[in-house]
Amino acid sequence: MIVIEKIQGRANDQVVVEYSQENTSGKPDKIRFPAEIALKYSIRRQLVLTESDWENIKTEAISLQAKIKAFSLVAQRERTALELTKAMKSTKRFTFTDQMIEIAVARVEELGYLDHDKIARHHVTRSSSRLKSKRLLRYQMKGRGISDSAIETSLDNYDEVPAALIHTQKQSKVTDLNSLSPSERDQVKQYLYRKGFQTATIEFCLRTLTKSNF
């Protein structure tokens, strides 16, 4: 049998429950509960429960904690389902089962917090993306678990030329692109290609900057 030794209130509608095996000595175990679960099952000091009942209560409590944690994580910053799942698995305070995480993430998604189109659009328009090629942005968004359709829609109106022009100017390190040797021009091309820029974009940048003699 399980005996509830102590229950203490905590912030954010949480309680800490101390419990132990009946007729045993030693330090009680502890678990953090949502207060509503404690109220639902009238968890109180000296309450005695069967081990089966206690395990069921704990499972329900931890499942609810998973949902609470999921909403807390998306409140901190925008996340995809993949990112949220990874964050849930790395939570130190609780050990959530895969099923608990799956249900929690599905609930968050159901309420519209994991909108692929919105997340992709924000990824492309944030300031850190302004010097990136379409290919690099596509790679980053795929890594975040954003759907292919949302990725392509977000990139429809993205112009990578301004970013490529800036990279070309930085890499060439001269005031007149016409003064670059063929090998130096090839180095600039390879640099831009490694950054993910399309061949057509690279050639356009070289032509444009050659004419303007930046």
pLDDT of residue 23: 75
Mean pLDDT by 10 residues, the chain (214 residues): 92 91 83 92 94 94 95 95 96 90 96 94 84 93 96 94 87 61 84 92 84 51
pTM (2 d.p.) = 0.80
pLDDT of residue 211: 61
Long-range contacts of 168-175 (CB under 8 A, 24+ apart): 168/192, 168/205, 168/206, 168/209, 169/209, 169/214, 172/209, 175/213, 175/214
Q: Give the residue from 166, 165, 151, 91 showing the smallest Cα distance to 121.
A: 151
Q: Is 123 exposed, middle or buried (0-12, 13-18, 19+ CB in 10 A)?
A: buried
What is the residue extent of each domain of the chain? Answer: 2-110, 116-155, 161-212
The strand pairing partners of 16, in sequence order, are 8, 32
pLDDT of residue 40: 95
pLDDT of residue 214: 43
Rounded Cα distance, 80 and 53, in Å: 36
Which residues fall within 8 angstroms of residue 110, CB to CB, at 6 or more apart?
none
pLDDT of residue 97: 95
What ranges make up the beta strands (E) of 87-133? none
Domain 2-110 has CATH 1.10.10.10: yes
